[in-house]
Structure 1
Amino acid sequence: MSATDDAAAKAPSFDEFYAANVRGITVQIYAYFGNVSDAQDVVQEAFCRAYPKWETLRGYDDPVAWVRRVAWNLATSKWRRMRTAMRFARKQREEHIPGPSPDHVALTTALATLPERQRRAVVLHYLADLSVAEIAKREGVAPGTVKSWLHRARAALADRLSDRSGEEVDDA
Structure 2
Amino acid sequence: MQVSTPPRLDGAPPDVGRGMTEIDFDDFYHAHFRVLTVQLCAYTGDLAQAQDLAQEAFCRAYARWSKVVQYDDPVAWVRRVAWNLAASRWRRLRTARAYLRRQREEHVPGPGPDRVMLTAALAKLPENQRRAVVMHHLADMTVAEIARQEGVAEGTVKSWLHRGRTTLATLLRERNEQPEESRD
After TM superposition, the score normalised by the length of structure 2 is 0.43
User: Rg bigger for which structure?
Assistant: 2
Q: Greater helix percent: which structure? A: 1
